[in-house]
Structure 1
Amino acid sequence: MAKKKEITPIINENIEHESLDSIMGERFGIYAKYVIQDRAIPDARDGLKPVQRRIIYSMYLNGNTSEKPTRKCAKIVGDVMGKLHPHGDSSIYGALVRMSQDWVMNMPLIDFQGNNGSIDNDGPAAYRYTEARLSKFANNLISDLNKDTVEMTLNYDDSEEEPVVLPSRYPNLYVNGSEGIAVAIATEIPPHNLKEIIEATIYRIKNPHCSCDDLLNIVKGPDFPTGGYIYESEGLKDIYRTGRGKIEIASKVEIIEGKDTNTLLITEIPYKVVKKDLVYSIAKLSKSKDIDGIIDVNDNTAGDGINITVELKKEVNPEIVLTYLYNKTQLKVNYSANVVAISHDRPKTLTLTSYLDTYIEHQVDVITRRSKFLLNNAKNRLHIVEGLIKAIDIIDEVVHTIRHSKDKKDAKENLKTKYGFSEEQSEAIVMMPLYRLTNTDINTYINERDSLKKQIIDLEEILQNDKKLKSIIIKDLKEISDTYGIPRRTIIKEKEEEITLDKRDLVAKEDVYVALTKEGYIKRSSFKSYKSSNGSLPGIKEGDTLIMEDIANTIDYILAFTNKGNYLLIPVHEIQEGKRKDEGKHINYLVTLPIDEYIIKAIVIKDFDKDVSIVMISKNNYVKKTKLKDFFTTRCTKPITCMKISKDDEMVDVSVSNGNSNLFITTSIGISTLFNENEIDNIGLRSLGVKAVSTTKNSKLISLITFRNDEKNKFLFITDKGAVRIIDPSKYEITKRLGKTQRAFESFKSDQHYLVYSTKILNSKDPLKLQLLMSDNSIIEAEINDFKLTPEKNCKNNLEIPTNLKISNVYIHEVQKIDKDTIVEEAKTSIDNSNDSGNVNNINSSQDTKEEDFKDYEQISIFDEMGD
């Protein structure tokens, strides 16, 4: 017969329905409370997180103290993890190592043997290699721990007891500081000077109603183990007044002046700054285009403190470089303090006064518990001693009674019955060896009895007299301060006046050659490279032409203008150095230049404070003037508008005016106008300007020359077919803007010439070298030897060029500069309305004409100078 299947009875399940959000909220709250109270936030009373407290207690229990040899960290970690801290070994070992690091802790609590990491953020050696023990200073945390000074609680598996808090005979929370991130809460407590904090604690004990400001006369501020400087600020005071505050920590740097170089010697760095990262950031800056004065950065740090050297060029101001490094690296950092600790079983933001009150309250409790413990022991011992004295008085009877008793229990009962001894006294008598009982001098016990009575009186007084109790705390604190106190490492000083940084101050001043081409290729080369080239023109790309090539200083700027009505501002020190014969590098690595945009002019600027203006013209007959200072910008990464022009227009020329300059504007077919710059107002960068020439006969503006009334320059004009004309501008009439036009040159329609270049030239014995870019992109070098005036207006082909080619561009080694020698004049009108002609003045009419002024001039016909 088949066996019947067993039927499993149905169990009625009790299922409770609950929403996920309520479960998550409740469970996360439990988790958050655990992390805050049992992991990340220190207790205000002893300044320790649970893992730190458990490490110290475990080492204390195992006798791994300062007077004993060190033990393997693997054993220490294992003991802590197995008995007290049910978490990963890495967190335990990390906490153990941190308590030994003298660049983290003001007063290290662990003596470490082996590699415990470094200020370079190197990790420690594995715990199987290292050893540790409690430091001598850590004894002050565990002092009297065996005298019931603190509450004990069961460990995670109820197999061991551990202290809820350590006695901590000094204010460890402030002395060593702490940091931690919990759930929705974090703490960042800076370390302080032991002497100052103890002195403030004593002051608070004596003056319980003192203000925070009173305590700030003692506690100057945080005292970091890495030293450095802290600047006085409201943020510094807020740390103690509110528990939260922000301060600046600066490195200690000494400037050492040498014969050929200067050196910044860094001997202290801000707290928690990784040294190797700091060195790397300075070295990286030295290679950037922002600073040109750092020669080398070296980390010479050994075992005797920080030693970082930054070698500077002699030409660079070390104070400026230091200020720059303070601003750009972790040589100076902001530190935000957030004094959060567990106080009365909950996290609180503590002010200085509330923290000291919490700590003093803890010490009162420790001394009270210790006194009660000692009092109880003293009373118990006194009772025993009094019994021993009584026993010695009747020693023969006592010995006889013990000998004739059956066993220990019978002996105790007989002593109690016959002589009136108590249970404790009887126990002490029977447990004492007979030879001691019979040979001990009664005076020894009498002295001990008297001593115990005095001790009991003292302990009772401590418990009954609050003043006496606090005097014990003060005495212990002073002892610790005298034994372990050290001078302040971090100096508090007034905030220094901010130095306004000009990037050029960070650059070694050096004259260099700068070359810039029409297509935007730029380079700088040294004098050595220039000399080796024997004065030949710098290398350029085929089809390109030079716009400028001249000496500039590394602290100068190149103000370059483009055909699209934009400008570029380029610091010379940011231009990459190259060989003179090289083509250079496209300007896009400094400023993004669109493909259809090219350079038309460049000016070397040394001083933007000069009260001069930039005059610009466009081919469609517009002129505008803008103050030089408007062109300054701290950073130029793309072209910036300086003349708002239409799509079919282009900016064609730019020049500098000094406040009372004359403007000589010429079109492509030689039509010219001459008027004073004050005919037009200075306007903003994004404006278009005003009409320049009254009639252009459908030609386009090509050139602009600015000059002063007292200049004796000649003007040079070059056409596309190689015609050269030299004129004297003083023979031209100054009119109003849009006034009568004049001719710079003329040509027949059958042989039309178009202007490609014009400039001012000086009388010189040296030939004027030209670089002609031809229509086939070839370059022809030419020169002008004769600088006499050209009476003929009609163009003649003076330059030898192939008949099938035309000149498309000309380069002459001449660059406008704005520097200390730039002449600035007051704005004056040069139009004399009282003149009979109504609108004409001669430039030199107010000056005496001297014969030598015309010694290089040829006689010309008056008709050559007449307008159309």
Structure 2
Amino acid sequence: LIPEEQIVITLSHNNYIKRLPVSTYRAQNRGGRGVQGMNTLEEDFVSQLVTLSTHDHVLFFTNKGRVYKLKGYEVPELSRQSKGIPVVNAIELENDEVISTMIAVKDLESEDNFLVFATKRGVVKRSALSNFSRINRNGKIAISFREDDELIAVRLTSGQEDILIGTSHASLIRFPESTLRPLGRTATGVKGITLREGDEVVGLDVAHANSVDEVLVVTENGYGKRTPVNDYRLSNRGGKGIKTATITERNGNVVCITTVTGEEDLMIVTNAGVIIRLDVADISQNGRAAQGVRLIRLGDDQFVSTVAKVKEDAEDETNEDEQSTSTVSEDGTEQQREAVVNDETPGNAIHTEVIDSEENDEDGRIEVRQDFMDRVEEDIQQSSDEDEE
């Protein structure tokens, strides 16, 4: 039996894929440098990642509008530094086809769920999830569109959500999902947002009608902010949307627009392969027109390539004093291990520290600390006795 655990699946710009335990990454204070998420190849970087269970289905939607399917455990588990395996070794992509988005689904036979699609040119489509229950290794058509368009994102919905579409020039439109008539698997969609010149869609998400969620905006230069969803009024599908951030040379264009509850962690990935994990609640709340605050410090020629939400996992991280992970190198030797430890710094940050395998037992550490304190007390007592003499 395959054990069920939370995992992270990463996909690189050059289509290398791998999975890791979600506990591999660490939460840090806002503005931290992050950890190296992978050894990048020349001109390669992590382009996207998702979190899911090993038993969930992973639907891979490509820029050409096709869909492929794997189980979470079918993606090879590799070390954090590994580049991964070519994705074509896992699914049979066609020529010039790259994965534009991945989505995790537990029950593909559900009659109560839908998939909502958004393309770069502002086209949207809603289709029943059950239309995608029988996907083979060769893949199937998920949406049809013009040759100059491509698929940007897909979201799983209940059929009663509000749709939010965001663009690189910081426009956002919100409209009821009910205004989208369900279409067949191969159908072309309808206009979701009217784009201004030079603009394109970068984000798609959903929210409840009376949601207390927030819209999270992250820009390419590492700035971000949260704004209540209800600050964005409902409008008719196909409009131009309203302003969701002020774009300047300092913060750059928008690379991520998504909804959050404030109870998630956020993984920010740069083109250099550096990944930083933050608590969403630590990101400032600002109005729609604000630029945002710095979330990650970027080096020269670095930019934010992708952003992903991660559900807080109490068992893996915050409710255990320590959890260690280990990797085995190609020559079979065990490498240094890292432990997730509680931190006393503001914001309850979580970080990792290298630990010695010989000191992996908690009782042993207590004995060492007690022995040290005993010797300190002896030294103090001895010094006091000498002074009295």
Q: How far off its partner does 1:561 sit?
A: 1.5
**Which residue of the partner structure matches residue 214 of structure 1?**
none
Separation of aligned partners in 2, 1:713 and 1:606:
23
Q: Does structure 1 residue 516 correspond to structure 2 residue 10?
A: yes
Fraction of identical pairs, as percent: 19
**Which residue of the partner structure matches residue 568 of structure 1?**
68
* 3-state SS, counterpart of residue 88 of structure 2: helix
Of 141, 146, 158, the match for 1:646? 146
- Asked if 2 retains the 8 angstrom alpha-carbon contact of 1:753 and 1:795, the reply is no
Structure 2 CA distance for partners of 1:538 and 1:747, relative to 1, 3 Å: closer
1:52-63 matches, within 5 Å, as: none
**Which residue of the partner structure matches residue 754 of structure 1?**
253
Separation of aligned partners in 1, 2:135 and 2:268:
35
- Asked if 2 retains the 8 angstrom alpha-carbon contact of 1:569 and 1:632, the reply is no
Q: How far off its partner does 1:603 sit?
A: 1.6
Q: Does structure 1 residue 628 correspond to structure 2 residue 122?
A: no
* 3-state SS, counterpart of residue 735 of structure 1: coil
Separation of aligned partners in 2, 1:577 and 1:521:
12
Separation of aligned partners in 1, 2:49 and 2:273:
19
Q: TM-score, normalised by structure 1?
A: 0.32
Separation of aligned partners in 1, 2:239 and 2:51:
37
**Which residue of the partner structure matches residue 187 of structure 2?**
687
- Asked if 1 retains the 8 angstrom alpha-carbon contact of 2:244 and 2:288, the reply is no
Structure 2 CA distance for partners of 1:787 and 1:534, relative to 1, 3 Å: closer
Q: How far off its partner does 1:540 sit?
A: 5.8
Q: TM-score, normalised by structure 2?
A: 0.67
Separation of aligned partners in 2, 1:804 and 1:578:
29
Of 764, 776, 795, the match for 2:291? 795
Structure 2 CA distance for partners of 1:814 and 1:696, relative to 1, 3 Å: farther
Structure 2 CA distance for partners of 1:770 and 1:735, relative to 1, 3 Å: same
**Which residue of the partner structure matches residue 812 of structure 1?**
308
Separation of aligned partners in 2, 1:546 and 1:695:
24
* 3-state SS, counterpart of residue 724 of structure 1: strand
Letter in 1 for 2:193: V
**Which residue of the partner structure matches residue 727 of structure 1?**
227
- Output one character per residue of 1:29-82: Cα deviation in whole Å (capped at 9) or x when no partner: xxxxxxxxxxxxxxxxxxxxxxxxxxxxxxxxxxxxxxxxxxxxxxxxxxxxxx
Of 96, 104, 115, the match for 1:614? 115
Q: CA RMSD in A?
A: 3.1
Separation of aligned partners in 2, 1:727 and 1:592:
40
Q: How far off its partner does 1:618 sit?
A: 0.9
- Asked if 1 retains the 8 angstrom alpha-carbon contact of 2:38 and 2:274, the reply is no
Q: How far off its partner does 1:576 sit?
A: 3.5
- Asked if 2 retains the 8 angstrom alpha-carbon contact of 1:722 and 1:806, the reply is no
- Asked if 2 retains the 8 angstrom alpha-carbon contact of 1:717 and 1:757, the reply is yes
Q: Does structure 1 residue 696 correspond to structure 2 residue 196?
A: yes
Separation of aligned partners in 1, 2:99 and 2:196:
25
**Which residue of the partner structure matches residue 771 of structure 1?**
268
**Which residue of the partner structure matches residue 676 of structure 1?**
176
* 3-state SS, counterpart of residue 569 of structure 1: strand
* 3-state SS, counterpart of residue 588 of structure 1: helix
Structure 2 CA distance for partners of 1:583 and 1:740, relative to 1, 3 Å: closer
**Which residue of the partner structure matches residue 586 of structure 1?**
86
Q: How far off its partner does 1:602 sit?
A: 1.5
- Asked if 1 retains the 8 angstrom alpha-carbon contact of 2:216 and 2:257, the reply is yes
* 3-state SS, counterpart of residue 294 of structure 2: coil
**Which residue of the partner structure matches residue 282 of structure 2?**
786
1:593-604 matches, within 5 Å, as: 593-594=93-94, 596-604=96-104
* 3-state SS, counterpart of residue 736 of structure 1: coil
Letter in 1 for 2:18: K
**Which residue of the partner structure matches residue 376 of structure 2?**
none
For the pair shown, the structure with the greater C-alpha radius of gyration is 1
Q: How far off its partner does 1:628 sit?
A: 0.8
Structure 2 CA distance for partners of 1:531 and 1:752, relative to 1, 3 Å: closer
* 3-state SS, counterpart of residue 282 of structure 2: coil
**Which residue of the partner structure matches residue 239 of structure 1?**
none
Separation of aligned partners in 1, 2:293 and 2:23:
35
Letter in 2 for 1:516: T
Separation of aligned partners in 1, 2:251 and 2:144:
31
**Which residue of the partner structure matches residue 717 of structure 1?**
217
1:96-175 matches, within 5 Å, as: none
Q: How many residues are aligned here? A: 299
Structure 2 CA distance for partners of 1:540 and 1:769, relative to 1, 3 Å: farther
* 3-state SS, counterpart of residue 814 of structure 1: strand
Separation of aligned partners in 2, 1:653 and 1:603:
9
Separation of aligned partners in 2, 1:534 and 1:798:
18
Q: How far off its partner does 1:666 sit?
A: 1.1
Q: How far off its partner does 1:682 sit?
A: 1.2
Separation of aligned partners in 1, 2:250 and 2:19:
42
- Asked if 2 retains the 8 angstrom alpha-carbon contact of 1:713 and 1:761, the reply is yes
Unaligned runs of 5+ in 2: 28-34, 312-389
Q: How far off its partner does 1:654 sit?
A: 1.6
Q: Does structure 1 residue 547 correspond to structure 2 residue 48?
A: yes
- Asked if 2 retains the 8 angstrom alpha-carbon contact of 1:545 and 1:811, the reply is no
**Which residue of the partner structure matches residue 74 of structure 1?**
none
Separation of aligned partners in 2, 1:671 and 1:771:
21
Separation of aligned partners in 2, 1:577 and 1:804:
31
- Output one character per residue of 1:820-865: Cα deviation in whole Å (capped at 9) or x when no partner: xxxxxxxxxxxxxxxxxxxxxxxxxxxxxxxxxxxxxxxxxxxxxx
- Asked if 2 retains the 8 angstrom alpha-carbon contact of 1:540 and 1:546, the reply is no
Query: Which of the pair has the greater relative contact order for Cα pairs under 8 Å at 6+ separation?
Result: 2
Q: How far off its partner does 1:797 sit?
A: 5.9
Separation of aligned partners in 1, 2:89 and 2:306:
27
Q: How far off its partner does 1:531 sit?
A: 6.1
* More strand, by proportion: 2
* 3-state SS, counterpart of residue 745 of structure 1: coil
Structure 2 CA distance for partners of 1:576 and 1:791, relative to 1, 3 Å: closer
- Output one character per residue of 1:199-255: Cα deviation in whole Å (capped at 9) or x when no partner: xxxxxxxxxxxxxxxxxxxxxxxxxxxxxxxxxxxxxxxxxxxxxxxxxxxxxxxxx
Letter in 2 for 1:762: T
Q: How far off its partner does 1:697 sit?
A: 4.1
Letter in 2 for 1:719: T
* More helix, by proportion: 1
Separation of aligned partners in 2, 1:736 and 1:663:
11
**Which residue of the partner structure matches residue 662 of structure 1?**
162
- Asked if 2 retains the 8 angstrom alpha-carbon contact of 1:757 and 1:809, the reply is no
Structure 2 CA distance for partners of 1:773 and 1:734, relative to 1, 3 Å: same
Q: How far off its partner does 1:739 sit?
A: 3.9
* 3-state SS, counterpart of residue 727 of structure 1: strand
- Asked if 2 retains the 8 angstrom alpha-carbon contact of 1:557 and 1:570, the reply is yes
